[in-house]
Amino acid sequence: MAGLFDTYKDATVLQCSFIEKLERLDLESVNGFSDSLASFLSAKDEKNFVYGLAAGRSALSLYSFLQLLYNHFNAFPCTMEDPVQKHFRDTRKNLGIAVSGSGETPAVNKYIEDIINQGGDMRLITANEDGTAHRLVEDYENGSILVIKGKTKYDEDMTRTSKLSPMGTEFELEVLAFLNAVFKEIQARIDGERDEACESYLSTIKDFAAQCKLISRIDEERLTRWFERLFPRSGRYIIGGVGRSGLVARAFEMRFTHLNKTSYWERDFNTPSFQIGDVYVPITGSGNTYECLEGVKSAFKRGADVLPITTNPSSELVELMRVRGREDDIVFIPISERYLDQICGSHSTTSWLVSEYSMHRYPIFEINASIFTNSVVAVGAEYLGIEEAGMKRLHA
């Protein structure tokens, strides 16, 4: 599997270039997006409803941003996947944020039409200026569009490094990084400060890019062994994570389906219990997340393998693996020391309480984990001999 590590490095370098590309995004568009969100969120005397309109991994990139809005502002996030929240409040302020790389996802376009017909504000992020979503929003008086050029799963240009970035990885990763980087610009505008040079946005993107370059420093021998434990198996893949790490886990789980593997996100209603031959992959930056720790204990009890992704070498997770003699099965994602201290901390969580800092911090681990798992998928496709065209046939 020596050649697979080279594939991993090449894929990681490519993912980092996607982040760096955001430094060259048109600043007029960045200002426009920031101003429009600030204008909507600045109302303090009423509950603002923000609807996330997206599907698949694009939705997961967007939901991370919705969580930030909920934590910082008087904004209640609604997703179209949640039947409890699937209502339009016509007596309140309503904003739809749609993310669609191709602009041709039927369900997303239907929700865009619904928001427009109800008179709500509409913001679209897309890669396709000729797509249906773009056409729906461009002439709407309460709508605006941000174009982030990136390869989507519908891109037919096979020269665009699809082997190392299959199935729309570029656009989805760029949306995740952009929304988290632009957040401070939105905050500044709400506080009455506007910087047309977008220095806060640009410095954050540069920081994200610097952090993601550290991912290539994972020890080759350790990672190669992890690949050898991960791919050649016929059992089920169960991927776990909570909060923003859970969004990364769900995106990673989708990719195992594309690799023609039987996979589940740990917290789905139809996820089976562990059995011998399964592998559990918990994703947790701190390594102290209650649900992940319980998942590890359950997996070991039932004879499944455990291959965690974390960044904290001093966590309860590491201790659980060490007791079982499985410490070598852990992948540690590198981040700089100043973020390591913030993410790791010294506290385990209950099933529903997390620190205020965890709610507000930049998703450094989550972005790096996204890049890492995207690169792992590229390695898996090569190991299993699956081309992007084959992955598309398996895509829902």
pLDDT in tens, 208-262: 999 999 998 899 999 999 999 999 988 999 999 988 898 899 989 988 988 889 9
Contact 91, 115 (CB under 8 A): no
Into which CATH architecture does domain 2-213 fall?
Answer: 3-Layer(aba) Sandwich (3.40)
> Which pair of tokens denotes residue 254?
């989708």
pLDDT per position as a tens digit, 33-82: 999 999 998 876 567 889 999 988 888 889 889 988 888 887 888 887 77
- Cα atoms in the 13 Å half-sphere on the side-chain side of 180: 28
pLDDT per position as a tens digit, 125-144: 999 999 999 999 999 999 99
pLDDT at 391: 59
Per DSSP, 268 falls in state S
Contact 306, 326 (CB under 8 A): yes
pLDDT at 51: 92
Q: One-letter amino acid identity for 90?
A: D
pLDDT at 86: 66
More confident residue, 12 or 3: 12
Alpha carbon separation from 286 to 93, 110, 369 (Å, rounded): 37, 39, 12
Alpha carbon separation from 142 to 34, 96, 124, 145 (Å, rounded): 15, 10, 11, 11
Strand order in 279-282's β-sheet?
A: 263-265, 237-240, 279-282, 305-306
CATH 3.40.50.10490 residue window(s) in the chain:
2-213, 217-394
Q: At what angle do helices 169-181 and 199-212 cross, to 10 degrees?
A: 130
pLDDT at 357: 44
The torsion of the CA quartet 64, 359, 24, 185, rounded to 10 degrees, works out to: 110
The torsion of the CA quartet 6, 10, 15, 16, rounded to 10 degrees, works out to: 100
What is the spatial distance between Cα 347 and Cα 353, in angstroms, rounded to a whole number?
Answer: 11
Q: What is the mean pLDDT of residues 348-377?
A: 72
Q: Is pLDDT above 80 for 88?
A: no
| The CATH number of domain 217-394, selected from 3.40.50.10490, 3.30.1120.130, 3.40.1390.10, 2.30.42.10 | 3.40.50.10490
3-state secondary structure of 166: coil
